[in-house]
Amino acid sequence: MNGERLSQIGIGGADLGRRPFKEAEAIHYGLEHGINVVDTAESYPGSEELIKWGMTDIDRQRVFLISKVLPSHATPDQERRSLEGSLKRLGVDYLDLYLLHWRGGANLAQAVAGLEQLKQEGLIRHWGVSNFDVKDMEDLLKVPHGDQCFANEDLYNLTSRGVEFDLLPWQAKHQVGFLGYSPFHAVGWNYLHPTKVLRDIATAHNTDPYPVMLAWITRNNNLVTLPKAATVDHVKANIAAMDLKLTEEELAMIDREYPAPTKKVPLEKI
């Protein structure tokens, strides 16, 4: 992605902390076995501290570490304070990617100015945004240095495909990377329950339906998806999904079950 070698399947840090030992163990296992992208945010309670634990004895340079700043903190001074807090909680001295968590009421020019300054100082390597739609991205391009946006992170899974209609093509045209969060959750944090089509495809590949969902998301090799790391077994299944290749017939079956958008729809968020 834009010159960075990223695993197509990363680790999402939202909703961590229910079983901290198992989650830290799962993060550590993933980072030792081919995953190199970890995503968190200042607004995820306890997530950054738990990821620090999971990164114990892992070479920092092997991890592409992402965190996010709230739009209420999106001014140069407040971004710096937020970043310093995230760095302390994560136990690192820089982030690979720092995202504006959503647009909210943020002044984009001020937000970008602060992010660019942090990048110039080496505290972050890249900056980007999250939960932005095409109009938001176009507004971003209008502010000074807005074209330096590395990536946008949005909800993307089988039941939330709206980004395919215009956002993914826009980002590809403008060379802005795409990160997809919540591959297994629909709007409202409702868990995606596999249909018979997904179960049948999983059986054909001697796996479970959830790796099939991940393989579908990563089918075009041009984005990163961020499932939660709850247990080592879950992470093992996620890693195996990186080698799962769906046939054209299977992709067509999934499209019939979960149709692609045929018109512009509002950006979905969790």
Task: Indicate the number of domains in the chain.
Answer: 1
The pLDDT score that the predictor gives to residue 126 is 99
Neighbouring CB atoms inside 10 A of 265's CB total 14
**Residue 268 maps to a domain:** no
**Residue 138 maps to a domain:** yes
**Residue 4 maps to a domain:** no
Does the pLDDT of residue 189 top 80, yes or no?
Answer: no
The pLDDT score that the predictor gives to residue 185 is 87
The domain that holds 191 is classified in CATH as 3.20.20.100
Asked if 198 contacts 254 with a C-beta cutoff of 8 angstroms, the reply is yes
Contacting residues for 209 by C-beta, under 8 A, at least 6 apart: 194, 198, 199, 201, 202
**Residue 3 maps to a domain:** no
Which residues on neighbouring strands pair with residue 95, listed in sequence order? 124
Which residues on neighbouring strands pair with residue 155, listed in sequence order? 181
Give the model confidence (pLDDT) of 94-153 as tens digits: 999 999 999 999 999 999 999 999 999 999 999 999 999 999 999 999 999 999 999 999
> Could you tell me where the beta strands, DSSP code E, fall in 14-142?
37-39, 64-69, 95-100, 124-130
Domain range enclosing 111: 11-257
Maximum distance among all alpha carbons in the chain?
54
**Residue 262 maps to a domain:** no
Give the model confidence (pLDDT) of 159-187 as tens digits: 999 999 999 999 999 999 999 999 998 77
Three-class DSSP category at 17: coil
**Spatial distance between the Cα atoms of 17 and 176, rounded to a whole number of angstroms:** 31
Asked if 185 contacts 191 with a C-beta cutoff of 8 angstroms, the reply is yes
Give the model confidence (pLDDT) of 64-98 as tens digits: 999 999 999 999 999 999 999 999 999 999 999 99
Predicted structure pTM score: 0.96
